[in-house]
């Protein structure tokens, strides 16, 4: 899908202006991206750097960048419609030939070969051109410093920022140009091959390793600049978020183009091999210009030529050519080794994303990941796949939480790894915002997990169903032991308590991340963990076992409870679970396991009420029977003075104040109670109505929305939310919630009354 829109935009610029300018229009984005890098670096490292203090420098930098953009465009055919299709002769030659595709076949083979050579050299030429223009921008900045008498020591930081910018500009120019010119190179190669014209087809300047090295360096450079910026200007939240978003967008686009180029080339190799096997010529005009693939293509061409001769003289040439075919197979094995190198570099990118950043103060978290795809690169064994585990401690509303994620991206090897890269980077971005953004860490756990799930789902929706991810996302309140979680079509979590294992979920909650058309209200499940409870979460590799029957037949496991039994027999230990799974059968998929053990330690808050407290409680009940609520309140308050941490007494006092109409006093007590007891859903519900009675509608709505996230199907709560939105002047939201309430309960008078009020106003 991305490739389709990319080429559509490219062809539009090509038709409107010229072929080479359409290439530069994309590669210039790298120049501006690099300019942003340079600006961020300068702003972070140069003291007192701002638009006010360095206005001439920033203005000259901006104007020089615009001038470079214009000059680069003119050099590559921006003025083609005015009769000036480029400065260099080879650019004019490319535009003349490729702006009119119908004339290509009328050109002789030597001219076509010359144009093909120009296209092959164009990425390197564009990269060198970018370097030259980048040097011009730097010299303009140096001149500005000399003219306006700024501190020349700052030029060192300017030079470092410029080095990062020129690296990005040149890399973008090469990779974008190489990717875009691929289809035209293939077209010219096909024409030359159809004429049996012999051409060398030289390789480009950068190969697969060079491009991958640039992508890896871009990520590391971005992280380095971000670290410098955060370290020197930690309060610039908007700039940091903007920089992260820009880096993520650019890196994602380049990674997609990189892997798309490899995928297309491998498809071409497969098609050519199939054509050769079916008796065809097996010609291989590769879209890739990388020396690794071109080396294989040359060997493949030699092999096809030999196979053609063997077909003509099959009987006499079979034995003679066997050794040469073996040499070709060795070439294929070399390509496999290069692919393993790409796997290895990808695994290095994934490794820092799947990390456990917990200290185990009250929730001990352990990972176990066993990917299906194993490979050896330069003597180093590694693995790659689509499973990932992440855990980190965060603070929400002043309380300590442990966040954990266990996910399984669709596909094997590189496809699954690509999904993990996107998911891991996005989730770490969410965690980073939580640690740095006041608006985020002031959220309730239910709201935080809803926002995180929604953001990840919208991200993967952009892949149009080609990349789906199952996962369990959870947040554990370390003090109260309340677990908030969402399961998106992931295998059910297993609770190991008192030597017994059981499933935490009972039904499917949501489809996988990125599933098209996934609609409806989002609900967050909650569960209270007890001390020494162990929660084991795993991907579907835990169930995908190939089991041998007594008769020797192979069959896939269909018993969903098998894993639960293994957890029970393994005492919740991950290594024992893995060993027992392998004893049961062969694991046929990626496997990841995440274990959480809740150990809050000894609590000093829990005290046993003495006889005096019990007597006062009985006395309060007697007052309540006699409908003497004020005396009952005084009695409970006296008991609380003796046992101030007794949550039952607090709950009783809140209810007495509420029943007696002391809503202001009840609300004061409720604010503390719901924070200390987040699992008491009933009291949160009561607190919402209490705050409504004293006119604090925003606080009331906040609590009602927590109930709605936990259980979106309560008609009375939906009508309550509608009424609060109406009081706050949010008519559209009020109408929506009232309609939802009536859909569930057509007899709900409160919802009907709200709709009548709204219709009357309209």
Checking if the pLDDT of 350 tops 50, the result is yes
- Distance in angstroms (rounded) separating the CA atoms of residues 35 and 68: 12
Measured at the CA of 62, the angle between CA 59 and CA 68, to 5 degrees, comes to 135
- The arithmetic mean of pLDDT across residues 170-193, rounded, is 77
Residue 442, helix vs strand vs coil: coil
Same domain, 196 and 267: no
Cβ burial 669-680 (10 Å sphere, 16+ → b, else e): bbeebbeebbbb
Look at residue 606 in the predicted model and tell me its pLDDT. Answer: 43
Count the residues in the chain: 762
The answer to whether residue 230 is domain-embedded is no
46: Cβ–Cβ under 8 A, 6 or more apart, which residues?
54, 154, 157, 158
The answer to whether residue 213 is domain-embedded is no
CA 92 to chain centre: 42
The answer to whether residue 24 is domain-embedded is yes
- The arithmetic mean of pLDDT across residues 163-175, rounded, is 77
Checking if the pLDDT of 586 tops 70, the result is yes
Checking 239-246 for CB contacts under 8 A at 24+ apart, the result is 239/40, 239/43, 240/436, 241/433, 243/36, 243/40, 244/429, 244/432, 246/33, 246/36
Same domain, 172 and 255: no
- Distance in angstroms (rounded) separating the CA atoms of residues 558 and 576: 21
Query: What pLDDT band is residue 351 in, cutting at 50, 70 and 90?
Result: confident
The DSSP-derived string for 448-492 is HHHHHHHHHHHHHHTTTTSS-EEEEEEEEETTT-EEEEEEESPPP
Query: What pLDDT band is residue 390 in, cutting at 50, 70 and 90?
Result: very high
Which CATH number covers residue 368?
3.60.40.10
Same domain, 575 and 501: yes
The most confident of the ranges 61-75, 189-203, 332-346, 603-617 is 61-75
Look at residue 457 in the predicted model and tell me its pLDDT. Answer: 92
Look at residue 231 in the predicted model and tell me its pLDDT. Answer: 66
- Of 323, 350, 377, which residue constitutes the final position of a domain? 350
Cα separations in angstroms, 664 against 60, 421, 613, 653, 660: 62, 51, 26, 13, 11
Write out the residue range of the structural domain in which residue 675 sits. 611-761
- Distance in angstroms (rounded) separating the CA atoms of residues 699 and 702: 5
- Of 322, 350, 378, which residue constitutes the final position of a domain? 350
For residues 226 and 470, which has the higher predicted lDDT (pLDDT)? 470
The answer to whether residue 417 is domain-embedded is yes
- The arithmetic mean of pLDDT across residues 354-368, rounded, is 89
720 and 704 in contact (C-beta within 8 Å)? Answer: yes
Look at residue 474 in the predicted model and tell me its pLDDT. Answer: 95
- Distance in angstroms (rounded) separating the CA atoms of residues 471 and 537: 10
User: 546 forms bridges with which residues in the sheet?
Assistant: 556, 586
- Of 350, 380, 400, which residue constitutes the final position of a domain? 350
Query: What pLDDT band is residue 234 in, cutting at 50, 70 and 90?
Result: low
pLDDT in tens, 408-430: 998 777 788 888 889 999 999 99
- The arithmetic mean of pLDDT across residues 351-367, rounded, is 88
Same domain, 162 and 34: yes
Look at residue 341 in the predicted model and tell me its pLDDT. Answer: 72
- The arithmetic mean of pLDDT across residues 154-177, rounded, is 77
Same domain, 169 and 288: no
The answer to whether residue 606 is domain-embedded is no
722 and 741 in contact (C-beta within 8 Å)? Answer: yes
- Distance in angstroms (rounded) separating the CA atoms of residues 441 and 436: 8
Look at residue 607 in the predicted model and tell me its pLDDT. Answer: 44
226 and 240 in contact (C-beta within 8 Å)? Answer: yes
- The arithmetic mean of pLDDT across residues 608-631, rounded, is 73
Same domain, 299 and 412: no
Phi, psi angles (nearest 5°) of residue 466: -85, -10
Look at residue 530 in the predicted model and tell me its pLDDT. Answer: 92
Token pair listed for 115? 């144009």
Token pair listed for 713? 């199907």
Same domain, 484 and 498: yes
The answer to whether residue 301 is domain-embedded is yes
User: Of 125, 127, 124, 117, whose CA–CA distance to 184 is shortest?
Assistant: 117
Same domain, 637 and 744: yes
- Distance in angstroms (rounded) separating the CA atoms of residues 54 and 517: 50
Structurally, how many domains does the chain consist of? 4
Same domain, 139 and 50: yes
Query: What pLDDT band is residue 235 in, cutting at 50, 70 and 90?
Result: low
Segment among 9-18, 214-223, 678-687, 734-743 with least mean pLDDT = 214-223
What is the overall mean pLDDT for the chain?
80
Cα separations in angstroms, 96 against 87, 92, 122, 613: 13, 6, 15, 96
Helix/strand/coil (H, E, C) string of 54-103?
CHHHHHHHHHHHHHHHHHHHHHCCCCHHHCCCCCCHHHHHHHHHHCCHHH
pLDDT in tens, 300-318: 666 676 666 666 666 565 6
Residue 77, phi-psi category: left (phi > 0), alpha (psi -120 to 50), beta (remainder): left
- Distance in angstroms (rounded) separating the CA atoms of residues 192 and 173: 27
For the chain, the first-to-last Cα distance in angstroms comes to 44
Token pair listed for 737? 């919630």
251 and 215 in contact (C-beta within 8 Å)? Answer: yes
Token pair listed for 630? 């004020």
CB count, 10 Å around CB of 730? 15
- Distance in angstroms (rounded) separating the CA atoms of residues 621 and 627: 10
715 and 741 in contact (C-beta within 8 Å)? Answer: yes
Question: What is the percent of the chain with per-residue pLDDT over 90, rounded to a whole number?
Answer: 14
Query: What pLDDT band is residue 143 in, cutting at 50, 70 and 90?
Result: confident
Same domain, 387 and 296: no
Token pair listed for 463? 């892949």
529 and 481 in contact (C-beta within 8 Å)? Answer: yes
Query: What pLDDT band is residue 258 in, cutting at 50, 70 and 90?
Result: low
Same domain, 341 and 367: no
- Distance in angstroms (rounded) separating the CA atoms of residues 404 and 390: 6
The answer to whether residue 210 is domain-embedded is no
Look at residue 498 in the predicted model and tell me its pLDDT. Answer: 92
381 and 417 in contact (C-beta within 8 Å)? Answer: no
The answer to whether residue 330 is domain-embedded is yes
- Torsion, CA 638, CA 642, CA 646, CA 652, rounded to 10: -10
CA 740 to chain centre: 32
- Distance in angstroms (rounded) separating the CA atoms of residues 732 and 754: 12
The DSSP-derived string for 482-545 is EEEEEEESPPPPEEEETTEEEES--S--B--BT-TT--S----EEEEPPTT-EEEEE-GGGT-E
Same domain, 364 and 342: no
193: Cβ–Cβ under 8 A, 6 or more apart, which residues?
283, 285
Measured at the CA of 419, the angle between CA 418 and CA 423, to 5 degrees, comes to 120
């Amino acid at each position: 899908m991305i490739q389709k829109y990319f080429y559509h935009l490219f062809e539009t610029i090509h038709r409107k202006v010229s072929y080479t300018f359409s290439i530069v229009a994309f590669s210039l984005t790298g120049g501006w991206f690099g300019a942003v890098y340079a600006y961020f670096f300068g702003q972070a490292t140069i003291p007192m750097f701002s638009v006010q203090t360095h206005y001439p420098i920033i203005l000259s930098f901006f104007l020089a960048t615009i001038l470079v953009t214009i000059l680069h465009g003119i050099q590559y055919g921006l003025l083609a419609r005015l009769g000036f299709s480029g400065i260099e002769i080879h650019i004019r030659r490319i535009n003349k030939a490729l702006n009119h595709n119908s004339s290509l076949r009328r050109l002789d083979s030597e001219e076509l070969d010359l144009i093909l050579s120009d296209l092959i050299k164009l990425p390197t030429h564009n990269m060198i051109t970018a370097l030259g223009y980048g040097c011009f921008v730097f010299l303009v900045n140096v001149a500005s410093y000399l003219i306006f008498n700024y501190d020349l020591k700052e030029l060192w930081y300017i030079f470092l920022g410029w080095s990062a910018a020129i690296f990005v500009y040149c890399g973008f120019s090469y990779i974008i140009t190489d990717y875009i010119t691929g289809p035209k190179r293939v077209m010219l190669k096909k024409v030359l091959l159809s004429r049996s014209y012999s051409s060398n087809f030289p390789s480009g300047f950068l190969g697969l390793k060079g491009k991958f090295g640039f992508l890896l360096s871009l990520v590391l450079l971005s992280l380095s600049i971000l670290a410098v910026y955060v370290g020197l200007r930690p309060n610039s939240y908007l700039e940091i978020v903007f920089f992260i978003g820009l880096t993520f967008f650019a890196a994602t686009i380049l990674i997609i183009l990189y892997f798309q180029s490899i995928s297309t080339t491998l498809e071409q190799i497969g098609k050519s091999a199939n054509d050769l096997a079916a008796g065809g010529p097996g010609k291989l005009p590769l879209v890739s210009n990388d020396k690794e693939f071109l080396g294989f293509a040359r060997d493949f061409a030699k092999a096809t030529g030999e196979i053609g001769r063997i077909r003509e003289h099959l009987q006499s040439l079979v034995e003679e050519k066997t050794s040469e075919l073996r040499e070709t197979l060795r070439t294929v094995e070399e390509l496999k080794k290069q692919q393993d190198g790409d796997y290895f570099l990808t695994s290095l990118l994934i490794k820092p994303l799947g990390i456990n950043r917990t200290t185990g103060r009250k929730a001990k978290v352990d990972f176990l990941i066993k990917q299906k795809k194993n490979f050896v690169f330069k003597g180093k064994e590694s693995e790659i796949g689509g499973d990932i585990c992440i855990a980190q401690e965060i603070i929400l509303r002043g309380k300590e939480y442990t966040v954990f994620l266990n996910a399984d991206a669709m596909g094997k090897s590189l496809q699954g790894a690509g999904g993990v890269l996107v998911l891991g980077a996005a989730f770490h971005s969410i965690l980073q915002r939580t640690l740095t953004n006041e608006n985020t860490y002031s959220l309730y756990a239910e709201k935080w997990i809803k926002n995180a799930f929604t953001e990840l789902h919208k991200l993967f929706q952009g892949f149009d169903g080609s990349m789906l991810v199952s996962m369990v996302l959870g947040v554990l309140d370390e003090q109260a032991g309340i677990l908030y979680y969402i399961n998106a079509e992931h295998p059910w979590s297993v609770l190991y308590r008192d030597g017994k294992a059981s499933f935490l979920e009972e039904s499917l909650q949501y489809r996988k991340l990125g599933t098209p058309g996934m609609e409806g209200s989002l609900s967050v499940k909650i569960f209270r963990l007890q001390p020494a409870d162990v929660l084991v979460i795993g991907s579907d590799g835990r169930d995908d076992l190939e089991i041998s029957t007594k008769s020797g037949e192979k069959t896939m496991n269909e018993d969903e409870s098998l894993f639960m039994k293994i957890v029970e027999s393994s005492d919740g230990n991950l290594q024992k679970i893995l060993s027992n799974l392998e004893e049961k059968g062969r694991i046929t998929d990626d496997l990841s396991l995440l274990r959480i053990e809740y150990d809050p330690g000894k609590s000093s808050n829990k005290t046993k009420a003495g006889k005096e407290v019990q007597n006062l409680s009985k006395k309060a009940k007697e007052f309540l029977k006699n409908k003497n609520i004020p005396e009952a309140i005084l009695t409970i308050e006296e008991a609380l003075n003796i046992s101030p941490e007794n949550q039952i007494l607090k709950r009783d006092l809140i209810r007495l104040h509420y029943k007696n109409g002391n809503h202001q006093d009840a609300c004061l007590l409720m604010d503390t109670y719901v924070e200390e007891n987040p699992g008491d859903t009933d009291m949160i519900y009561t607190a919402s109505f209490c705050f409504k009675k004293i006119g604090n509608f925003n606080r009331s709505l906040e609590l009602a929305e927590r109930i709605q996230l936990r259980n979106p199907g309560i008609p009375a709560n939906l009508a309550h939310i509608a009424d609060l939105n109406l009081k706050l002047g949010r008519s559209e939201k009020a109408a929506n919630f009232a309609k939802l309430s009536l859909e569930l309960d057509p007899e709900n008078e409160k919802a009907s009354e709200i709709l009548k009020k709204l219709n009357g106003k309209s």
